[in-house]
Structure 1
Amino acid sequence: MIIYETNKHFLGDIAHLSRSWTMQRMVRSTAGVAVVTTLFCIAVMEFELAIHAPSTIFSLLGIVLSVLLVFRTNTAYDRWWEGRKQWGALVNNCRNLAIAAHVIFPEGDRQSRYQMATMISNFCIALKEHLRSGTKVDELIHLSPAERSRYSERKHIPNYITTLIHQQVQVMYRSGAITGDDTRNIKPHTQALLDIAGGCERIKKTPIPFSYSVYIKVLILGYASMLPFGLIRDFGYFTIPLVTFIFFTFIGIEMMASEIEDPFGLDCNDLPTGDIAHTIKKNVFEILEVELEKEAPEKKELYEKVF
């Protein structure tokens, strides 16, 4: 996710656009439209062809296209914001689960506290990759070779980790270390982990309908292709920058929506789920008062950050 300070670096924020992957795609598409428009204008102006269409038609089409793009961007942003709310709920429930475990578990049972902190942390780390291309077991922390082998056999590792958390609580209950009331108090926070995972999977696996997304792209391309016919008579060669800018505006809105509709990836404006997962890890180890073993330096996610 791009991190920036609002209302502070106006020109700097604009300059960043040149380094954006989405902007580079937009520029390539816009350049192609500019070339085609230039060839059209040269053919009409130099050979004095009587080719034109009423500009009012394009005004009406522009309004229709604008309405569709507003709906498109609102829908994409709703998905992005829903994903952020789910990960915000994950932060809260992981902290509450760690606090409940800290209060409930016997003070001298540092092994149980350590296991709980490790499992909560691994759930978050596993979930961020589960929402991308699949959990990477090598990223999980404090696992023995045997545990890594068992994790590798699972297709849905967040499910497996939640099961282990429930099992640990039940084992402690049966041994008399905690009471039945303790298990009931800790259960809602444990169940919330899978509720959040399911909410994120719903966003991930239910993209914008393909036909709707393709229709908007076709409409933008068709509008930009026909627009020179409506402007050439009134604007001459100035039609080239006008058509280029209008296409740049419409295709930019569409590409921005496409970028944020899957908020769990590694595009520049996707959610910083990796950073959130590591923050939760540090929080739960601190809450449970167990030491977090030294690890290799955390790898920064691929998305670019602007300060």
Structure 2
Amino acid sequence: MVRYNSKEWLKNLVNFYKSYTLQVLLRYVLYIGLFTGFFCWLIIDVMAWEVRLHSGFFSLLGIVLSILLVFRTNTAYDRWWEGRKQWGTLVNTCRTLAVMLQAMLPEGDMENRSYFAKHIANFCISLKEHLRKGTKIEEMIRLTEEEKKVYPHQGHMPNFISLQIFQRIQRLYGAGVFSEADMINLKPQVQALLDVMGACERIKKTPIPFSYNVYIKVFIIAYCFTLPFGLVLEFGYYTIPMVMFVFFAMAGVELIGEEIEDPFGLDCNDLPTGTIAETINQNVHQILYLYSNVKKEEEEMYVKVF
């Protein structure tokens, strides 16, 4: 995700020029410019054609297309914002779960604190990659030799880690470490991890309907390819930059919508899920170690910076 200061206009324009979306868009604009230039040369210098479409027709089509693009952008942004809210909920849930465990576990029980800190962090690390192209085992922290053998065979890593967390809590309850009241408070927090994961998977696996997505692209292309018919006789070769600018505006909105509708990837406008996972990793270790009699150096051993 690109971090920027909205008040620095010129600097933001430079960063925008470097974005992958703009680079793709400029190539498309160049293609439409070449087509328009060829069309203008053919009509003006070769055929001397006097027939044209009335500009009012394109004004009407432009209004319809603008409404479709507004709806497209709002839909894509809603998906992006929903993803951000879910990861915000994940941050709060992990912190709350860590605070509860820190308060409920017996003083000096560093084994269980270490276990929960590691697994909560690994749940978030595995979730960010699960929403991309699959969990990367090498990114997960402090895996035991047994876990290194078992984890690669798990088809749904976040599910498996949440199961491990709940199983550990259940065993501690059976051993009398946690009371029934503790379990009543802990279960909703573990459930919230699964709720966030499910909501993110819903966003990931439910793209904008194919027909709607393709229809807008076809509409934009058809509009810009026919626009020279309404401008060439009145504006001549000035039609070329005019059509290029119209296409830049409309196709740019569509490409931005395409980029943010899947907010969990690695595009420059996608959510910084890696940074959020790192924040959770640091927070849960600080909560579960900082308030126990553990040296700062030992705490830092368990904090991995991505």
State TM-score, norm by structure 1: 0.95
Please name the residue that 2:101 is paired with: 101
Per-residue deviation, 1:16:
1.5
Please name the residue that 1:184 is paired with: 184
Cα distance between partner residues in 2 of 1:189 and 1:154: 23
Please name the residue that 1:45 is paired with: 44
Partner of 1:106: helix, strand, or coil?
coil
* Matched residue type, 2:113: R
> Which runs of structure 2 are paired with 1:40-189 in the superposition (5 Å)?
40-47=39-46, 48-189=48-189
Per-residue deviation, 1:51:
3.3
* Contact in 1 for aligned 2:281/2:303 (Cα 8 Å): no
Q: What do residues 182-210 of structure 1 show as CA deviations (whole Å, max 9, x unaligned)?
A: 11111111110000000000000000001
Moved more, 284-293 or 202-211: 284-293
* Contact in 1 for aligned 2:33/2:243 (Cα 8 Å): yes
Please name the residue that 1:233 is paired with: 233
Cα distance between partner residues in 1 of 2:149 and 2:171: 23
* Matched residue type, 2:20: W
Please name the residue that 1:302 is paired with: none
Q: What do residues 252-280 of structure 1 show as CA deviations (whole Å, max 9, x unaligned)?
A: 00000000000000000000000000100
Cα distance between partner residues in 2 of 1:140 and 1:167: 20
Cα distance between partner residues in 2 of 1:287 and 1:294: 15
Cα distance between partner residues in 2 of 1:235 and 1:62: 19
Please name the residue that 2:276 is paired with: 276
Q: Percent identity?
A: 52
Size of the aligned set, in residue pairs, is: 298
Per-residue deviation, 1:298:
3.6
* Contact in 1 for aligned 2:264/2:271 (Cα 8 Å): yes
Q: CA RMSD in A?
A: 1.3
Cα distance between partner residues in 1 of 2:281 and 2:156: 20
* Contact in 1 for aligned 2:17/2:23 (Cα 8 Å): yes
Cα distance between partner residues in 2 of 1:137 and 1:269: 26
Per-residue deviation, 1:294:
3.4
Per-residue deviation, 1:295:
7.2
Moved more, 136-145 or 271-280: 136-145
Please name the residue that 1:200 is paired with: 200
Please name the residue that 2:30 is paired with: 31
* Matched residue type, 1:294: M
Please name the residue that 2:18 is paired with: 19
Cα distance between partner residues in 2 of 1:126 and 1:92: 18
* Matched residue type, 2:25: M
* Matched residue type, 2:83: G
Cα distance between partner residues in 2 of 1:53 and 1:170: 74
Cα distance between partner residues in 1 of 2:31 and 2:110: 64
* Contact in 2 for aligned 1:95/1:283 (Cα 8 Å): yes
* Contact in 2 for aligned 1:44/1:51 (Cα 8 Å): no
Please name the residue that 1:304 is paired with: none
Partner of 1:288: helix, strand, or coil?
helix
* Contact in 1 for aligned 2:289/2:299 (Cα 8 Å): no
> Which runs of structure 2 are paired with 1:208-287 in the superposition (5 Å)?
208-287=208-287
* Contact in 2 for aligned 1:162/1:190 (Cα 8 Å): yes
Moved more, 138-147 or 122-131: 138-147
Partner of 2:223: helix, strand, or coil?
helix
Partner of 1:23: helix, strand, or coil?
helix
Cα distance between partner residues in 2 of 1:161 and 1:125: 11
* Matched residue type, 2:26: V
Cα distance between partner residues in 1 of 2:302 and 2:45: 69
Per-residue deviation, 1:5:
1.2
Cα distance between partner residues in 2 of 1:183 and 1:137: 30
Cα distance between partner residues in 1 of 2:301 and 2:44: 71
Cα distance between partner residues in 2 of 1:265 and 1:274: 10
Per-residue deviation, 1:161:
0.7
Cα distance between partner residues in 1 of 2:101 and 2:230: 69
Cα distance between partner residues in 2 of 1:270 and 1:45: 45
* Contact in 1 for aligned 2:224/2:243 (Cα 8 Å): yes
Q: Which runs of 4+ in 1 moved over 2 A?
A: 290-299
Partner of 1:289: helix, strand, or coil?
helix
Cα distance between partner residues in 1 of 2:187 and 2:304: 33
* Matched residue type, 1:142: R
* Contact in 1 for aligned 2:285/2:303 (Cα 8 Å): no
Partner of 1:176: helix, strand, or coil?
coil
The runs of 5 or more residues in structure 1 that have no matched partner are 300-307
